[in-house]
């Protein structure tokens, strides 16, 4: 199976590639080539996801898409997110459906629920409540994926990633951390799952007092190999030592605690 990975030069894309290479042929798509590679079983295509022509070229001959590309950050404005987090996902979904791509794995984020407070939080049955413009873009992407799954039969597997840093930095991320190995195994599950239509799961390893119930992923065959408490950063901060700007009271952490960037005024 040949997989197109968007955002392949980013931190997550670079971290998961070694785990996917043994099982899939990888086409790496980004604005710039990855710093490492390509390795055996990989090819590189440089292009812009907002360009229909670039996307059509990148999709030629692939069986599935793993869509990682996005822009993010505490100060990300709505206008800065439009091409990468809105237009790009629509172009990619539309061209994937037109090209007969079999399935689409979408890297979403826990930030689609980030505006909820952690106290008493239960993700089951919760409406999306993004914490900032990054999370809002991910919620849009999830809705777009559902539309193309239901209207065009594209097989979609959405993974709401918790925290994918190399190590666990604080008490909040301890409850939602994922290793690169476990995240890659979830993506691989979506790429090969029999009978896939449209699924939404959480990208988390084995975490103490987990913030998200990942029963659906487990039912589909996911088996996390890594434990958050065994991967603490040297400067790990427990809940009580987290400063307010890290948003310890919020599901979305610092994104929910930071001021929301204002919308740009349109010229008259």
**Which strands sit side by side in the sheet containing 155-161, from one edge to the other?**
42-46, 25-30, 2-6, 64-67, 103-109, 155-161, 198-203
φ, ψ of residue 46 to 5 degrees: the values are -95, 130
Catalytic residue among 134, 148, 202, 222: 134
Strands 25-30 and 42-46 come out as: parallel
Q: Which two structure tokens, joined as six digits, stand for 114?
A: 């980030």
Q: For 218-268, what is each residue's pLDDT tens digit? A: 999 999 999 999 999 999 999 999 999 999 999 999 999 999 999 988 764
Is residue 134 annotated as a catalytic residue, yes or no?
yes
> Does 37 have pLDDT greater than 90?
no
- Name the least confident of 33-42, 61-70, 71-80, 110-119: 33-42
Q: Check if the beta carbon of residue 120 is closer than 8 Å to that of residue 110.
A: no
- For residues 68-95, average pLDDT: 97
Q: For 145-204, what is each residue's pLDDT tens digit? A: 999 999 999 999 999 999 999 999 999 999 999 999 999 999 999 999 999 999 999 999
Q: Check if the beta carbon of residue 179 is closer than 8 Å to that of residue 226.
A: yes
Q: For 1-13, what is each residue's pLDDT tens digit? A: 999 999 999 999 9
Confidence of residue 36 (pLDDT cuts 50, 70, 90): confident
Q: Check if the beta carbon of residue 182 is closer than 8 Å to that of residue 163.
A: no
pLDDT number for residue 125? 87
Domain 2-257 belongs in CATH node 3.40.50.720: yes
- The 3-state DSSP class for residue 160 equals strand
CA distance 194 to 158: 15
Q: Which two structure tokens, joined as six digits, stand for 44?
A: 């590189």
Mean pLDDT rounded to a whole number for the chain: 96
Cis peptide before 38 (omega within 30 of 0): yes
- For residues 44-48, average pLDDT: 96
- Report domain extents, the chain: 2-257
Half-sphere exposure of 22 (CA within 13 A, CB side): 5
Q: Check if the beta carbon of residue 231 is closer than 8 Å to that of residue 167.
A: yes
Pick from 12, 1, 77: nearest CA to 41: 1
Q: Check if the beta carbon of residue 139 is closer than 8 Å to that of residue 162.
A: no
Pick from 20, 26, 4, 10: nearest CA to 183: 20
Residue whose entry in the numeric block shows the structure tokens 């005024």: 265
- Helices then strands (H, E): number in the chain? 8, 9
CA distance 252 to 67: 22
């Amino acid at each position: 199976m040949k997989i197109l990975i968007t955002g392949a030069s980013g931190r997550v894309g670079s971290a998961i590639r070694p785990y996917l290479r043994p099982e899939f042929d990888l086409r790496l798509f980004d604005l710039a080539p990855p710093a490492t590679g390509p390795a055996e079983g990989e090819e590189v295509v440089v292009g812009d996801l907002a360009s229909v022509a670039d996307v059509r070229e990148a999709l030629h001959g692939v069986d599935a898409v793993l869509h990682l590309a996005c822009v993010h950050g505490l100060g990300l404005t709505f206008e800065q997110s439009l091409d990468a987090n809105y237009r790009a996902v629509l172009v990619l979904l539309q061209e994937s459906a037109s090209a007969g791509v079999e399935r689409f794995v979408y890297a979403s984020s826990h930030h689609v629920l980030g505006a909820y407070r952690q106290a008493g939080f239960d993700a089951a049955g919760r409406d999306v409540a993004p914490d900032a413009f990054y999370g809002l873009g991910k919620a849009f992407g999830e809705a777009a994926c559902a539309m193309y799954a239901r209207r065009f039969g594209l097989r979609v597997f959405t993974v709401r990633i918790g925290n994918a840093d190399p190590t666990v930095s604080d008490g909040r991320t301890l409850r939602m951390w994922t290793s690169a190995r476990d995240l890659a195994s979830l993506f691989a599950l979506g790429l090969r799952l029999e009978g896939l239509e449209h699924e939404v799961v959480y990208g988390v390893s084995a975490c103490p007092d987990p913030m998200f119930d990942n029963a659906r992923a487990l039912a589909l065959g996911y088996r996390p190999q890594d434990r958050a408490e065994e991967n603490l950063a040297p400067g790990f901060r427990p809940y009580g030592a987290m400063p307010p700007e890290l948003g310890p009271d919020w599901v979305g952490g610092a994104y929910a605690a930071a001021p929301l960037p204002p919308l740009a005024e349109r010229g008259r």
